[in-house]
Every structure is written in C-alpha cells, then in structure tokens.
Structure 1
Amino acid sequence: MQRSLAAVLVADVAGYSELMGHNTEATLSALKRLRSEIFRPAVASRSGRVVKSMGDGWIVLFSAAADAATCALQIQELLATDPSHQDPRMLLRLGVHLGDVIEDEEDVFGDGVNVAARLEEFAKPGTIAISDAVFGSLDGTLRPSFDDAGERLLKNIAKPVRVWTGGSSPEASYGGTAKADRPHVVIQPVQTSDARTEVIELADALTGDVLTYLGATHWLSVTSGASHDQAYTLTSRLRASGARLRLEVRFVGPNGTELWATKIDGEMEDAFDWQDSSAETMVSHVLAATFDAERRVLDKLSLEEMSANQCELRGQLALDHLDPDAFADALTYSSAAIEKDAQSAPAYALALVSYLSAAVMGFDAVTAPHARSIPKWCAAAAPLAPDHAHLHLALGVTAYAEARDPVAMRKIIDKALRQSASDYVTLTMSGWAYVWIGDHRTAVECFSKAWTFGKQSPWALAIKGGLAFSLLQTGDDKGAISHARDGLETSADYATLHRILAAAHAHLDEDAAAQGALRAALAADPQDSIRAIRARNLFADHDSGNRYLDGLRLAGMPE
C-alpha cells in the first residue's frame, strides 16, 4: 500500500443510466469520444493520473491542487462548447479535494477520495465542487471561477466541509459570443499504436496541451474530433521504438491544402521537456499558418466587401505590434464592424480596448478621430456585455477611467475571469486592470498565465509589457529588465518597455543603463514627463508606492 497527500478529482457522467436506456449505442459512442478526446487529454496535460475507472466515472490523482482545479475547469469548458460532444449531451459532475489517499493495487481510498466523491455528488451537472483546502491553493486567476457555497455536511463525512462551486453550467457559453463564426481548427487526438502506458499518456498529454493553448486563442474556434470541409485540421501520430520517439504532424487548410508538416524526434528519458517543446512547436506553427492564411484572404477584400465578423477579425490580427499604425488599423476595422453589425460584442470590445490602449500609450492622433464615438459605443455595448468577458472588461475599464473605483473594478475583473479563466486576452486585460488598481502581485499571476497561453499570439507583446511592468512594481527589477528586453526584440519602438528599463535600472543603481533607456524612451516623445504619464494612465497608486514613476524620477525623467 502507498499513502500520500494528493489532489483527488472524482468525475461522474450525470444521468448515465437514463442516457443508456434512451439510446445505448449513441451513449457509448459519446462516452468514448468524451474519454479519448477531452477527458484523457485534459488529465494528461495537467500531469494527472487516472487511478480508477468505473465506466461512467473516474478517480484521478494530481500532485498539485491547482492542476486538479484547472483540469476540472478545462473539461467543463470543452464539454460546454464542443458541438461534437452534444449528441447525446454528456454532462459531468466533478468534485476535487486535497487530502490523504492510499493506493492498494488497482484500488484507491482514504479521506481525499471520500470527500472528493461527496463533492462530486454535491455538484450540479456541468459544474465543479471543490473543498476549501483546494480553493486556498488557487491563485488570483482561478479563485474568481468559484463561488462560496458555505459549510456543508456531506454524507458520511464527520466534519462540515466548506464548499466552493464553479464551472460551466449547461447553458453557459465559454467566452460568450467571442468565438462565433471564427476560423475553425479541429485538433484530432494524437494517435499511437504503441501499447506502453507511458507512450499512450504522452500522446494524450500532447493532445491536451495543444487543445489548451489553441483553445485560449480567442480568434479561433477550436474543437477536438472529426473534421469537416470548412475547418483547418491538425493530425498527429506518435511513434516509439525503444526509447526513441517520433511525432509526425500535418496541418491542412479548409480546402485540404497542406499548410505545414514536420517530424519531431525525441527520447523517452526527456519525455516531459520534449512534450513541452513539441506542443509549443505545434501551436506556434498552427497559429502562424492560420494567421497567414486568414490574413491573405482578408487582405484581398476591401472594407466594403468584408462582413462585420471579417472586419473585427482583421482588426484583431493587426495588434501584433503596439504602435500607432496597429491601433489605427484595429480602430478602423472594429468601427467598420460596428457599422455593419450593431450587435457585434467582439467588435465593441476590440474598439474600446484599442482606444484605451492607444490613449494610455499617448497616441493622441490615433484616438482623436474616435473620441466622440466612445459614449455611443458604451451605451450600445452595455446590453451585450453580461455574456462576453472581453466586452465586460472593456466597459469596466472605460468606466474606471472616469470613476477610478478600485472596488468596482475588482468585481468586474472577477466576473470576467470566472467566464474565461484560461483566455489569454481576458487574462491580459485583467492583468492591466490589476496594475491600475494597484494589485501588482495578482497582475503578475495574470500575465504569467497569459504568457503560457498567448506567447504565440498577436497579444504577445502586450503580455510581455504587462509582465515586465507588474514585476517592476512588485520589486523584481531584474525580472522586469529581462522581460522588457525580450519585448524590445519584437518591437524596438515600444516606448513603455524603454521606460520600464529606465526605472528598473535606476532602482538597481545602474545609472548609465537607466539614462540610456530613458533617452530611448524620450526619442519617441521628447516632451514626455512624469505629469504626462500620470495623466494618461489609470494608476490608483500614482502618488505613493509607484515604483515605475519613482524609478523614472531616479533615471532623470522630467517632472
């Protein structure tokens, strides 16, 4: 027998007996798809281990409670949005607890399993119930996904357990309408003919990683399973010979044209590092190929020929650089999308985010033509915001710019993260909002998670800038310098990063480096000053404790 402390996830298909009675063949087929295309990949991607399978349920062990909770959220989000898993509709109840477990051959028991099982019974179909022990281990990006259900007496559990509930309800739509009519990418599970458990788990983990990272790309609609004529399709096969690994990958466009293919070799002794690098290679090439293909199609169309959705998507793709031209393009395309479809929540979100970002960066020539539209956009967008995390955040930050109410802003961030805890745009916007209300440590958590999901996206530079800025504010000057330099390799004209370098070097008493970075920052705007930076930013803590402004003063920025 083996005893350990582990995070336990217990999963059960709601109403399984009734589904079987209604249509046995369809139910078994749906269960097989759920298990192979969603459940196993999500578990493997988070280094979980299925220790017991009960046909319509599973017990999974994780070494970290945050991994178990993240896996549970991902499973429910995928089930809520993947149309290939809705006939018949499979709904899971998930329970997660952190406690002692005992493994004995093919069985597992202990306090951790007992409480997790009762939490699963407590959860409603399509949702998750976690214990307070699990909730306490979550960071600021995950805590908003769960509501306090109070202390509960669970069946056969001696002491009351504080329960937190969350996840997608059956009616929920992940990210609201953000992914409607997006380019569709189908991820077929990584295939392997190798019978070894470690190879099968590696194939599942690769599938889960790719689903996770591409699924966080809000301008794509990503599903697993069968493809169709209108979808991009990623297929992969993992071959193994002894300790050698080879991953064969092929990515084709909607018309069947091969866009990318490769072979990635590795060794079993380096399986974890190889998994990470292989998943990153797959994601980066899929995004690049899809980005280029979509942009080629859209660039052939005039603004008049584009649909509202095409205008908004073209505006999103413009934000791979944070310069005046990029924001001007994003505003041009998003405002055109609004004119074509006054009910387009993504278009309003893009317009407001682009306007606010350009304003904070001091691009007055970009924002001036659209200033009068902001009140009209906000009024028209308000009824669309409740089910759209990006728009909800964009309206919240717009309101915060006027009222400067950190308490209200925090509530808005919490709701947005609850809707889209793994969406890198939501995480990036939330990170900047946390920066403005002065919660810099939670901002670091948001940007770090956003970088995991969005490093290959058009938002990568905004994420790098936010991570560098928030690290500076928490006192990690060396970390801020490292990320700022990385960002400048992509865009040497991103003045914010030069200012961050100036402030961080000044705090480290590296005067020559600080003054050099300040000169680079002032090259774009020789009249810039502390007062101008304060005026265009939304800092709640600009009068005291703002290491960014204090560092700029030390570097020699005029007051």
Structure 2
Amino acid sequence: MTPSSDRTVLFADLRGSTALYGSLGNAQAATIVTQTIGLLCNVVTRLGGHVVKTLGDGLMAVFEGPQAGVDAACGMQESIDRILAEADTGTPALKLYVGLAHGEIVEVAGDCFGDAVNVAARLLDHAGDNEVLITGAVYDGLDEANQARFRSLERLHLRGRSEPCHVFRLEARHQGTGVSTFFADFTDTSYADCIRLALAGDAPQQLFSSQQTPVILGRSPESTFCIDDARVSRLHARIEWHGGNFHLSDQSSNGSYVQFNGRGEVIVLRRGVCMLHGSGVIGLGASPVDPKAACVHFEVISYSSQSPAPMA
C-alpha cells in the first residue's frame, strides 16, 4: 500500500508571459521567464519545501506544514517584484497566482496525488492578480499573528467538488510592514472596498463602493447598471456587500454566469449566489464564452484611496 502523509501543497502560476514574448521577442522573454521560475524554485528550497514539478509557467511544491508554505508564497511575491524591477522592460508585468491547501497526499513515482493537490490547483482559477489563496486547513495551521494577515472569502465552489471550500486571501505580505491590501475601517468611505463594472468595448466604467450597494444589474432603466439586451431580465441580478465581501445574486429567468479572470471554469447561478473577488466577467442570460452574451467585466478593489488602473 502506498504510504500517505499530511502536507501543505502549493501551486504557483505566472500569467502574462504570452504578452511578454510578443513585446520582447523569444530570447529576452524566455530569459525573464526562466529566471523567474528559477527564483520561485529557490524560494521553495530555501524554506524547506520540495519542488515536485514545474508546469510551463508555474510549479507545484509541497511543504511539511502551512507556515512554510505561506512564507514561500510571500517570498515568491518578493522575488517577482525584484526581478521585474531589475528587468525594467517597460512591458506589462508578470502576475503571480498562488494557491495552497493542506491535507493527506500520496507520493507515487516522484509525483503527488490527493484532494489537497486538486484543491490547491483549482484555487488558481479563483485567484486574482498577485493573490495568494489558502484553504481553511492551511489557515488553521497558522498562529494567531499570521492568521491576522488573511481575510476570509467565505466559501467558494471549486470545479469538481460538490461541497464549497472555505478560502482565505492573503492581505498583508509582511507583519507590520508592506501591505498589499489595506486593512481599514470600512465605515470610512475613503477606504471602502469598491467594485468596478464595465461593459465590453469602449463603454464607460463605473465604480461602486461597498456603501453604494446594492447595485442592480438589469435591462430596466431603473437598474443601477443598465444592460440593453433581450436575454437580460429587467432586474437581472444584484451585487450586495455583506460579510466583508461583494456577492452576486441571480434573480433572473435565464441565469447569471461568472468566470474569474476571464478564463477557466464558468460558475452557473440560477437564483443562486456567488462571492466576487479579484476580477472577471459576469454573463447575464448566457455564458461569457458565448460571443453574443451580454457581459459585464468586474474588478474588486480593496483600497479605493489609491487610483486604480484602467480595466483592460
């Protein structure tokens, strides 16, 4: 019988390399990507982890426990920042997505298998730019000070799993120093979380703070965000703020569809609710993969006091 063990599994993925190759050419882009993956592997080894395999522009690693895995994720972010600053290519930066899960795994022929492996990989589908997502099991393995660096995203539906998974997002990279997402009193509107919405093309973007919810998406002129499409109900869906997060609730006849980061799994809502985080696309009445679907691009911004960049 193959022996099993409890391990923390980390998946890291670089996104943006395709644009890098197009901007810099194969040789220079390949050098940057190769150096970056090498740095990420060095971080894993330095913190006592084991690189199981590299996966194109990413890697899979295992650690003895949650703290080492979280430290590695933070170290990876710092390494990415350094190498891109030194490269100074003037091109869009590479983005690092990290997912961590903890649980029983088995090792076979140098590879690892188990539910924790599957969950860590699928967390990448829900991670936004430069985000680190961890499961509740990883969170529970951290001390109180390190738990304070994370914010609950409540329960996410992961592809292939019938039960939702409690997920947390890293907010502060370093205790007491640099912060990637500000902690703030959310009763202060200057630091309120916001969600940015835009239709495809050159349509104007609209920014809504948590205090301005609910935001009604629909065909009716009375909707907060109006979409003129026959498949969109008059009052199709609502974006509401509760539990420290934005939630989309479908109220339509044809359903609502969410695709995070504009790729991967499409979550289908039929009178259901989905938490919004990072960025992605909401299809109203049809899936975002349908080229004729009425789509709303969204981006959750956790520090509205800073000027957000235009949404691509």
TM-score by length of 2: 0.51
> Pairwise CA RMSD of aligned residues?
3.0
Question: Any idea what SS the aligned residue of 2:34 has?
Answer: helix
Deviations 1:284-331 (A, max 9, x none): xxxxxxxxxxxxxxxxxxxxxxxxxxxxxxxxxxxxxxxxxxxxxxxx
Higher gyration radius (CA): 1
Q: Given residue 124 of structure 2, which amino acid in structure 1 is its aligned partner?
A: E
Distance 2:107 2:170 in 1: 29
Distance 1:109 1:86 in 2: 39
C-alpha displacement of 1:85: 5.2
Distance 1:94 1:74 in 2: 11
1:277-288 map, 5 Å = none
C-alpha displacement of 1:58: 0.7
The change in CA–CA distance for 1:167 and 1:75 in structure 2 (over 3 A counts) is: farther
State how many pairs are aligned.
178
Quote the residue 1:101 is aligned against: 105
Are the equivalent residues in 2 in contact too, given 1:73–1:167 (CA < 8 A)?
Answer: no
1:127-526 map, 5 Å = 127-166=131-170, 175=177
Distance 1:16 1:50 in 2: 21
Are the equivalent residues in 1 in contact too, given 2:172–2:181 (CA < 8 A)?
Answer: no
Quote the residue 1:84 is aligned against: 86
The change in CA–CA distance for 1:167 and 1:27 in structure 2 (over 3 A counts) is: farther
Quote the residue 1:24 is aligned against: 26
Quote the residue 1:75 is aligned against: 76
Q: Given residue 139 of structure 1, which amino acid in structure 2 is its aligned partner?
A: D
Are the equivalent residues in 1 in contact too, given 2:43–2:75 (CA < 8 A)?
Answer: yes
Are the equivalent residues in 2 in contact too, given 1:77–1:168 (CA < 8 A)?
Answer: no
C-alpha displacement of 1:52: 1.4
Are the equivalent residues in 1 in contact too, given 2:100–2:120 (CA < 8 A)?
Answer: yes
Q: Which structure features the higher share of helix residues?
A: 1
Question: Any idea what SS the aligned residue of 1:77 has?
Answer: helix
Are the equivalent residues in 2 in contact too, given 1:8–1:62 (CA < 8 A)?
Answer: yes
Distance 2:22 2:162 in 1: 36
Q: Given residue 69 of structure 1, which amino acid in structure 2 is its aligned partner?
A: V
Quote the residue 1:302 is aligned against: none
Contiguous gaps of at least 5 residues in structure 2: 186-312
Quote the residue 1:125 is aligned against: 129
The change in CA–CA distance for 1:129 and 1:166 in structure 2 (over 3 A counts) is: same
Are the equivalent residues in 1 in contact too, given 2:149–2:172 (CA < 8 A)?
Answer: no
How many percent of aligned residue pairs carry the same amino acid? 26
Q: Given residue 16 of structure 2, which amino acid in structure 1 is its aligned partner?
A: G
The change in CA–CA distance for 1:156 and 1:17 in structure 2 (over 3 A counts) is: farther
Q: Given residue 45 of structure 2, which amino acid in structure 1 is its aligned partner?
A: A
The change in CA–CA distance for 1:104 and 1:138 in structure 2 (over 3 A counts) is: same
Q: Which structure features the higher share of strand residues?
A: 2
Are the equivalent residues in 2 in contact too, given 1:6–1:100 (CA < 8 A)?
Answer: yes
Quote the residue 1:516 is aligned against: none
Which structure would you say has the larger RCO, counting Cα contacts within 8 Å and 6 or more residues apart? Answer: 2
Deviations 1:519-543 (A, max 9, x none): xxxxxxxxxxxxxxxxxxxxxxxxx
